[in-house]
């Protein structure tokens, strides 16, 4: 019989097993690494390294609540380990709990004042809380501690861009790329900054890095070649496929007829909610996402089409309408609205939350207002307010601000074809930056877009009009979070509108 192993030998075996598990995790073999950790924890429930590694594995596999529990258990065992507090903060940040995450990053930085990663992570949570000035200070500290810290340069660039300092942001992206030339996030962010400045020639090629950065997991894999305007398409079938939100699809589907004009047979794959509307486009065959695809020869994501056509600000295909609604549906809505005299204005006050996309959640909190923010409209005579809001925020229409009458027929809007018909029966659409803005613009309907301070690149910097949508008027927060100033400007504009002539929808 072999003698029992000594405690030192057991500890050495555990350390070796954990070293192997860590290598497995980094190699993408997370399930194997997890099994090793759990076997060790069954023998040694309070093993600090195994708990911390298991937390990292859980975080990487999106089991964030379990990751937090692991890190907290490890922190109780060794409360002076800065690493585990930083890891707990990172998991909390991924859960959107940024205030709690900040406490963790503070503990980590207090325990280890030279911990550059903790300061960088602290900056990320501050930025998510719209505390961009403090975020920049945190990134500054991280860079001081680690002068070649590419991630901190990139993150500081994002914060600077959101504070409307694009030139400084571009400098930081360049510094990030000097430190790490293969850093695709910095390449993409540089592209977004250049697009916001209207430099489409330089920005669009950089925007293609989205497939290696934020959209890596969503990239479609086809055996057919990617088309970016560099091959003959006449007589060939090309698949144009939607890639992001409804608004992106509505904005860039304008290129589909242009591809058809090159002699191609165009398949347009879009979310089911858009099929009925986009099926009205000429020379395009529309397919619902998820349905079997017909044979095709080439493919192109919709948001790559501006690059394929070499689009500049001067050559944006901005003729509207490039979408239309069914005449019978329009007539039905006009008949329903005819009993409501006044200017008919459609409202959308919130975007889609995308609960599993943490960055999108933070963005949605910045772009959405809530119906209560439109309370000033209730004081305007001669105004008929119609809800265009879908999703959970639509419930706000049932309890509008005091004095506001909100007409809500959104239960009858089954898809975007229905929404388009209702919009065509209105005089004006007022909305936050969501799909309704693009739908109204594509229909050529007057639309007032209410933008957060760090507005999306597509609305460009320093403009009140849009080269993408001639019928759009842009209202932007003068400082981050200031919707009151925006709404005062809207109320002034509506007051002028209400004293104008007959409504467009009843004068035809």
Q: What is the pLDDT of residues 417-434, one digit of tens each?
A: 999 999 999 999 999 999
Q: Which two tokens stand for residue 77?
A: 């065992």
Assigned domain for 255 exists: yes
CATH code for position 118: 1.25.40.10
Residue 508 placed within a domain: no
Domain that holds residue 71: 14-175
Please choose, from the candidates 192, 157, 204, the residue with its C-alpha nearest in 3D space to the C-alpha of residue 176.
157
Q: Which pLDDT score is estimated for 146? A: 98
Helix (H, G, I), strand (E, B) or coil at 386: strand
- 334 and 481 in a single domain? The answer is yes
Q: Which residues of the chain have pLDDT under 50?
A: 1, 355, 503-508
The domain total for the chain is 3
Within-domain flag for 184: no
* Model-wide pTM > 0.75: yes
Per the rule left: phi > 0, alpha: psi between -120 and 50, beta: everything else, 236 is beta
Same domain, 165 and 285: no
Cα-to-chain-centroid distance, residue 498: 35
Same domain, 354 and 271: no
448, 366: one domain: yes
Please enumerate in sequence order all residues whose Cβ is within 8 A of that of 262, keeping only pairs 6 or more positions apart, or say none.
233, 234
Report the pLDDT value the prediction gives residue 441, as an integer from 0 to 100: 98
214 within a domain of the structure (yes/no): no
Indicate whether 363 and 271 sit together in one domain. Answer: no
CATH number at residue 473: 3.40.50.2000
Tens of pLDDT, residues 323-355: 999 999 999 999 999 999 899 999 999 987 554
Inter-axis angle of helices 30-43 and 48-60, to 10 degrees? Answer: 150
Question: What is the C-alpha separation between 402 and 371, in angstroms, rounded?
Answer: 11
Name the packing angle between helices 184-196 and 166-179 (round to 10°): 160
């Amino acid at each position: 019989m072999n003698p029992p192993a000594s405690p030192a030998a057991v500890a050495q075996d555990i350390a070796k097993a954990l070293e192997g598990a860590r290598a497995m995790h980094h190699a993408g073999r997370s399930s194997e690494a997890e099994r090793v950790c759990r076997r060790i924890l069954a023998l040694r429930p309070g093993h600090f390294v195994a708990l911390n590694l298991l937390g990292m594995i859980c975080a990487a596999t999106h089991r964030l609540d379990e990751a937090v529990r692991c890190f907290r258990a490890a922190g109780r065992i060794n409360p002076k380990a800065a690493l585990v507090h930083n890891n707990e903060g990172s998991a909390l940040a991924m859960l959107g709990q940024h205030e709690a995450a900040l406490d963790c990053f503070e503990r980590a930085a207090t325990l280890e004042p030279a911990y550059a990663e903790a300061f960088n992570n602290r900056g990320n949570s501050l930025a998510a809380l719209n505390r961009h000035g403090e975020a920049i200070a945190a990134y500054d500290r991280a860079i001081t501690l680690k002068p070649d810290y590419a991630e901190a340069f990139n993150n500081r660039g994002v914060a600077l861009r959101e504070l409307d300092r694009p030139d400084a942001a571009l400098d930081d992206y360049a510094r990030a790329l000097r430190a790490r030339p293969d850093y695709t996030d910095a390449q993409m962010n540089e592209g977004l900054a250049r697009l916001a400045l209207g430099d489409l020639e330089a920005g669009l090629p950089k925007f293609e890095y989205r497939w290696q950065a934020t959209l890596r997991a969503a990239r479609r894999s086809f055996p057919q070649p990617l088309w970016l305007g560099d091959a003959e398409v006449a007589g060939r079938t090309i698949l144009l496929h939607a890639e992001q939100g409804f608004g992106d699809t509505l904005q860039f589907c304008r290129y589909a007829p242009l591809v058809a004009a090159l002699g191609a047979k165009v398949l347009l794959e879009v979310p089911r909610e858009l099929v009925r509307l986009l099926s009205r486009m000429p020379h395009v065959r529309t397919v619902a996402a998820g349905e079997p695809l017909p044979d095709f020869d080439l493919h192109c994501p919709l948001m790559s089409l501006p690059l394929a056509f070499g689009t500049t600000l001067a050559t944006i295909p901005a003729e509207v309408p490039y979408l239309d609604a069914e005449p019978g549906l329009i007539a039905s809505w006009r008949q329903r609205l005819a009993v409501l005299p006044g200017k008919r204005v459609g409202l959308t006050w919130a975007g889609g939350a995308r609960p599993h996309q943490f960055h999108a959640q933070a963005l949605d909190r910045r772009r959405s207002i809530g119906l209560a923010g439109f309370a000033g409209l209730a004081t305007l005579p001669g105004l008929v307010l119609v809800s265009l809001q879908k999703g959970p925020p639509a419930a706000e229409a049932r309890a509008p601000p005091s004095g506001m009458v909100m007409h809500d027929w959104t239960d009858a809007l089954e898809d975007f074809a229905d929404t388009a018909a209702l919009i065509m029966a209105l005089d004006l659409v007022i909305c936050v930056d969501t799909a309704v803005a693009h739908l109204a613009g594509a229909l050529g309907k007057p639309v007032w877009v209410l933008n957060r301070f760090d507005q999306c690149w597509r609305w460009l910097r320093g403009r009140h009009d849009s080269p993408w949508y001639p019928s759009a008027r842009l209202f932007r927060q003068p400082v981050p979070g200031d919707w009151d100033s925006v709404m005062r400007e809207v109320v002034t504009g509506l007051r002028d509108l209400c004293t104008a002539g007959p409504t467009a929808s009843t004068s035809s």
